Copies of this chain bind each other. A is one copy, B any other.
Amino acid sequence: MSLRRWITVTLTVSACLTPLAALAEPAFLAIPLGTSGGLYEDDLSSYLLAPKGSGDFLALDAGTLMAGLRKAAQLGSLDGIVTPADGDLIPAAAMLQRHIKAYLISHPHLDHLAGLVINAPDDAKKDILGTGPTIDRIRDHLFNWQIWPAFGSEGSGVLLGKYRYVRLVPAVAVPVAGTGMTVEPFALSHADGYPSTAFLVSANGAHVLYCGDTGPDAVEKSDRLQQLWRRIAPLVRTGALKAIFIEASYPDGTPDTRLFGHLTPAWLMAEMHVLAAAVDPAKPATALQGLTVVVTHVKPSMKAGMAASARIMQQLQSRNDLGVHFVLPEQGRRLAL
């Protein structure tokens, strides 16, 4: 085989196995502040995201903030982001006040909000973005002077106005103030129609999809995931979608009646197959090859503790007939996407 022909064959095979996303330079930096789906109060869903090279992050959910920022500082993940220009705050505090510019809240369950509420007195002014039902519940039940002071821009009683509530409309992209990113929300179904949200975050022609808690369409009797897969399929096809964050809360074998609006590895793979068919109906088996899927919200077990995550990852890998690149995020550890 000539060198020229060898290169051509190799590149052709690579192109079949690897989407453009995996060949390209990373476009985003993510820092997980909390990764689990309950139980331990210091590791609840929250992921910082910024375009590569930017120090202006948004937080996707806010279950744990300061405990995760402390861990990130210990791991060196805030190096080069928090600088002497941020003053004499401890690094975690500087990151909270100066470099988290906005919160995108997928749904108002407390495991996605507790850190934001607890840390509000020490936070800086910024926006909280969510769909109407999410913002309403934060306003009415948390920042309401009953459970916590009214730090928001709406509500009854004296309004402290530290947080401006920004109501997102499904399928309408808007800029996230203070960052170089836009967000487009999509409705998800999280048990009995409880409103959850997926966020498509975009910057410089690259995208990340973050899904809040969701059940599978078949169990939720919904087509919301299917619609979402159709919307993002073109971005997967071109390699512009750098990663999907999506949950796998419970292990395989959990009965559908005990999912409470969550996914198992089997259900997540079933949904990935729907996405694959939307990306390439002719060759779905290779449509998601190498696509990064960050596995969120694994529920620690009362018998195994955090070891539940390893089990979920094993189950996902054993079913992974699409070549998806599953990643288990680690609290405080940078992810280049």
Q: How far is the CA of A97 from the CA of B303 in the complex (A)?
A: 12
Other-chain contact of A142, B38, B122, B141 (Cβ < 8 Å) = B141
| Nearest-Cβ distance from residue A223 to partner chain B, whole angstroms | 24
Within 8 A of B (CB), among A118-158: 118-119, 121-122, 137, 140-142, 144, 146-148
- Chain A 77-103, CB within 8 Å of chain B: the 1/0 string? 000000000001110110001000000
Given A114-B110, A118-B110, A118-B114, verify A67-B42 contact (CB < 8 Å).
yes
Query: Is A64 an interface residue, CB under 8 A from the partner?
Result: yes
| Nearest-Cβ distance from residue A163 to partner chain B, whole angstroms | 15
Q: How far is the CA of A153 from the CA of B30 in the complex (A)?
A: 41
Number of interface residues of A (CB under 8 A): 41
Query: Is A111 an interface residue, CB under 8 A from the partner?
Result: yes
Other-chain contact of A41, B39, B42, B90 (Cβ < 8 Å) = B42
Contact assessment for B117 and A110 in the assembled complex, using a CB-CB cutoff below 8 Å: yes
Contact assessment for A93 and B302 in the assembled complex, using a CB-CB cutoff below 8 Å: yes
Given A110-B147, A114-B118, A147-B110, verify A70-B40 contact (CB < 8 Å).
yes
Nearest B-chain residue to A149, judged by Cβ: B260
Other-chain contact of A141, B41, B115, B122, B146 (Cβ < 8 Å) = B146
Query: Is A108 an interface residue, CB under 8 A from the partner?
Result: yes
Contact assessment for B118 and A44 in the assembled complex, using a CB-CB cutoff below 8 Å: yes
Q: How far is the CA of A239 from the CA of B259 in the complex (A)?
A: 54
Nearest B-chain residue to A304, judged by Cβ: B90
Query: Is A305 an interface residue, CB under 8 A from the partner?
Result: yes
- Chain A 276-299, CB within 8 Å of chain B: the 1/0 string? 000000000000000000000000
Query: Is A337 an interface residue, CB under 8 A from the partner?
Result: no
| Chain B positions within 8 Å of A142 at CB level | 110, 141, 147
| Nearest-Cβ distance from residue A174 to partner chain B, whole angstroms | 25
Q: How far is the CA of A65 from the CA of B115 in the complex (A)?
A: 15
Nearest B-chain residue to A307, judged by Cβ: B90
| Nearest-Cβ distance from residue A111 to partner chain B, whole angstroms | 6
Residues of A within 8 A of B (CB): 38-42, 44, 64-67, 70, 88-90, 92-93, 97, 108-111, 113-115, 117-119, 121-122, 137, 140-142, 144, 146-148, 302-305
28 pairs, A vs B, C-beta closer than 8 Å: A38-B121, A39-B118, A39-B119, A40-B66, A40-B67, A40-B70, A41-B44, A41-B65, A41-B118, A42-B42, A70-B305, A89-B302, A89-B303, A90-B303, A90-B304, A92-B305, A93-B302, A93-B303, A93-B305, A109-B147, A110-B117, A110-B142, A113-B147, A114-B117, A122-B302, A137-B147, A141-B144, A142-B147
Instruction: For the complex of A and B, list the 5 residue pairs with the smallest distance between their C-beta atoms, beginning with the closest.
Output: A42-B42, A93-B302, A141-B141, A42-B67, A41-B67
